[in-house]
Amino acid sequence: MTDYTAVLFDLDGTITDSAPGITATLAYTFERMGIPVPSPAGLLEYVGPPILDSFRDLAGMNEEQSARALEIYREKYLDDGAYDSTVYPGMPALLRDLAGDSRKVSLATSKPELPATLILEHFGLATYFDVITGASADEVRSAKTDVVAEALVRLRGLGADLSRPVMIGDRHHDVEGAADHGVPTIFVDWGYGSPAEAAGAVAVVSTPEQLREALHLRNGTPHLS
């Protein structure tokens, strides 16, 4: 097992079960756009990837339609959808203990930084992160490879040891985006990704306790050997 020196976390499907707020906001968006609302399973496919990519790839929207859908989605999501989520049991304690470790921690989500920060603050988790990195407001930085790159830049600016960083996520976007920068991924299977999306991950974990073991983190006690 590897003693990872810095940890990057995805948000949706990894720390929070945010699907209810996201899918409800998407349904509202499609209704406002006059587009048939996908099935519940279809809406779940939107959770995780950059939203403009999903509007294009899953809904078949052109650039103008995607921009309008994003405007509708963001207004509704910031009003109430962002808080229609729950934190996965065991994750607050894991983040708290990791914050007491010598390793630096960054969020690395394709959700824009404003709602990501508001969600972490809402659940009292923001203080556990050295850096909160997400998509830029204009969505220019939204692909996971670009988010990971920015997170690494910010961590490096804090003097973090980046000799052995690791990504924690639940979708293939996390695995592939981190791999673009030579960062391995621990795949959590309690999120929204299918088992096939774990391909290329260095480990698959089913509980926060298993994630603790993969990170060499004991309850309340850092464990770097």
Which residues does the annotation mark as catalytic? Answer: 10
Please calculate the CA angle 161-163-168 and round it to the nearest 5 degrees: 85
Q: In one letter, which amino acid is 177? A: G
Neighbours of 62 (CB within 10 A): 9
Closest CA to 224 of 114, 69, 101: 101
Closest CA to 14 of 169, 212, 217: 169
Please calculate the CA angle 179-115-127 and round it to the nearest 5 degrees: 80
Take residue 128 and report the two structure tokens written for it: 């556990």
Give the gyration radius of the chain's Cα atoms.
17
